Chains A and B, each alone.
Chain A
Amino acid sequence: MAATLDMTRYRGRQVQSRIALGLACAATSVGLFVLGTILLTLLWNGLSALHPTILTQMTPAPGSKGGLLNAIAGTIAMTTVGVALGTPVGILAGTWIAEYSRGSVLAQMVQFVNDILLSAPSIIVGLFVYELMVVPMGHFSAWAGSVALAILVVPVVLRTTVDMLGLVPSALREAAAALGTPKWRTVTMVCYRAAMQGMLTGIMLAVARVSGETAPLLFTALNNQFWSTNMNAPMANLPVVIFQFALSPYEDWQHLAWGGAILITFTILTLNILARFLATLSSLKQ
């Protein structure tokens, strides 16, 4: 009698477990379904908008034909400058934490602050750069946009640099020290070389992160309907153009917004996959 009672209780627990795991499966399917829908909608609307003219013509006035050339060029320009400004800062600061700080309180503080900056709302960075550059200069500019992006690059690069230098075996440093190598040469010629792939991964992740950022550019680089190579003036950029065009009532603008969206998404996915691939390669070597 007691044995049968226990069996019913056990069955009950098994049923409970099955239900819970079934719900977990359902949650996964819901999540994947939604995320799949996003990609499918993007492909559906975006592919029809992808036309060679998107790469050869400027953003149009409503009602006329055009492309996204100036916006793409602007995004490339500002991302390049932003990454060029932010990467050295991130790498050197990360180097200090990994190689010089000896785990001091200051190093822990820098890492803590860095992790906060990593997830802090990017629109706040936009406000900061607005106060820092746009107000004193008196106008919006691509420089301000680049600096805003650079501030977003720093935490990503710093984090990966610290992680990757941490993986460099100490024996390498000791061997260099035994040869009488000055510390700066040990770091640049030995540690950087050993951690190269990982650090490159970090830079690629940073590029992927900032090339889709919209909020920090809204009130730094603003937007520009025309071709401009002047970094000291407002500059068109893909995310802000997508934002503006998607919310407009004009159908051809919305169409272009989808085209821009698919361009940006696939660039970023490619960068992320490449970065992952590099990271796997470097972990295989170790």
Chain B
Amino acid sequence: MTVTDSATISAASSARKTALTLRGPQKLFDLLFGGSTIFFAALVLLILGGVVFSLVSGSRLAFSTFGTDFIFSQFWNPVTSKFGARAPIYGTLMTSFIAMLFGVPISFGIAVFLTEVCPPVLKRPLSVAIELLAGIPSIIYGIWGLFFLAPFMQSYVEPYLTSTLGAVPGLGILFSGPPLGIGILTAGIILAIMIIPFISSIMREVFETVPVMLKESAYGIGCTTWEVMWNIVLPYTRVGVIGGVMLGLGRAMGETMAVTFVIGNSHRIASSLLAPGQTISSTLANEFTEATEDLYTSSLIALGLILFVITFIVLSFAKVMLIRANRQAGN
């Protein structure tokens, strides 16, 4: 709406210009101001271009030395200058997967609660509280994870998991090993906690775009609250919900500080989720300033490039979905 408005205005103003052209300093200021706005808009594109360029040029040495082996090799040894990204990539994907596994259902539950169950008095304070929690910096989640969650996991959750699920054939391998408190599982849970505010506030927003008429018609033919949620609201807002989930996934994969505290920094891929691991971002945070050799630095930048490519794809997908949802809500 605003776009068409401003278009008519600019059309009007260009019509005006043909009749009355600006002269003197005003014309210069107009040019300068308009020019600087488009310059800075282009700068935003340039920043992204610069990021891509610097990552590609910085990682060239690593890719030319190891080729595609860099992505698939599991060895990461600064002493012998052998670098492979399999363990960090596995860690990034696995922790994000765990985060989604816990985070998405809980976020959905919160969004359902806020739109359908919550008494109106509590609705606003609760939504505001959840949105404020999205603003807390990740280092706070990290320090909490290190001093509270990790000991808690070590003394209660992990021994319990090992004694119950650990005994199940096949599945047990995921929950074997000593309870260390820090590891892939703990990192995944921290990430889940961090993305809950994001995903649930987006879900709540898109749920509220559902026309009341649609919901009331469903109630009118005798649907229960849950059936309205599951069969009417969710299909209607499908695109926006997927967008929100993908946005959360993008955040989880790129999250650095919270994960670095609790992941345990091991470059070995262990079969157990309780074992320490490594994500791309935690490797960068831990090792980048220690890297003295060119090949080492280049390998780390190559890791950064891989992370950037993955998150770029996920975030673009999320964005496209959310734009589509927005259009749908506008119609």
Residues of chain A touching chain B, judged by Cβ–Cβ distance below 8 Å, are: 10, 13-14, 16-17, 20-21, 23-28, 30-32, 34-35, 37-38, 41-42, 45, 88-90, 92-93, 95-103, 106-107, 109-110, 112-117, 119-128, 130-132, 151, 154-155, 158, 166-167, 170, 173-174, 177, 180, 182-185, 187-188, 205, 208-209, 211-215, 218-219, 222, 239, 242-243, 246-247, 254, 257-258, 261, 264-265, 268-269, 272-273, 276
Contacts and interface: CB of A to CB of B under 8 A. Distances in A.
B112 interface: yes
Contacts of B42: 110
Contacts of B44: 89, 93, 110, 113-114, 117, 154-155, 158
Nearest to B323: A112
A286 B14 CA distance: 29
A38 B140 contact: yes
A249 to B, nearest CB: 12
B72 to A, nearest CB: 22
A246 B117 contact: no
A112 B142 CA distance: 30
A126 to B, nearest CB: 8
Contacts of B257: 214-215, 239, 243
A42 to B, nearest CB: 7
A106 B257 CA distance: 35
B289 A184 contact: no
A41 B144 contact: yes
Contacts of B128: 276
B139 A121 contact: no
A21 B114 CA distance: 11
A93 B37 contact: yes
A166 B2 contact: yes
A273 B132 CA distance: 8
A24 B110 contact: yes
Contacts of B5: 170
27 contacts: A23-B109, A27-B107, A28-B114, A31-B200, A35-B129, A35-B193, A92-B40, A95-B37, A100-B37, A102-B7, A103-B6, A116-B48, A117-B44, A119-B247, A123-B304, A123-B307, A125-B51, A173-B6, A177-B13, A182-B22, A182-B26, A182-B27, A184-B29, A212-B138, A214-B139, A215-B138, A218-B288
Given A24-B113, A121-B307, A127-B55, 4 more contacts: A42-B144, A166-B2, A170-B9, A258-B143
**For the complex of A and B, 7 pairs with smallest distance between CB atoms:** A27-B109, A121-B254, A212-B137, A17-B224, A96-B37, A184-B33, A17-B226
Which one of A23, A96, A264 has the highest number of Cβ atoms from chain B below 10 Å of its Cβ?
A: A96
Contacts of A99: 6, 37
A117 B168 CA distance: 44
A126 B284 CA distance: 10
Interface in B1-28: 2-3, 5-10, 12-13, 16, 20, 22, 26-27
B255 to A, nearest CB: 7
Interface string B130-160: 1011011111111110111000000000000
Given A27-B113, A116-B315, A38 B141 contact: yes
A90 B105 CA distance: 36
A215 B40 contact: no
Of A30, A119, A155, A264, the most chain B CB neighbours within 10 A belong to: A119
A123 B133 contact: no
Interface string B34-66: 101111111111011011001101100000000
A128 B54 contact: yes
A156 B315 CA distance: 16
Contacts of B312: 116, 120
B50 to A, nearest CB: 6
B201 to A, nearest CB: 12
Nearest to A140: B289
B138 A214 contact: yes
A246 B105 contact: no
Given A93-B40, A128-B51, A17 B12 contact: no
A189 B276 CA distance: 57
A63 to B, nearest CB: 20
B284 A42 contact: no
A208 B16 CA distance: 43
Contacts of A247: 146, 261
A167 B1 CA distance: 10
B90 interface: no
Interface in B78-117: 105-110, 112-114, 116-117
A215 B8 CA distance: 45
B316 interface: yes
Interface in B258-294: 260-261, 281, 284-285, 288-289
A132 B50 CA distance: 9
A41 B307 contact: no
Contact of B50 (A128, A130, A174, A264): A128
Contacts of A158: 44
Contact of A173 (B9, B200, B260): B9
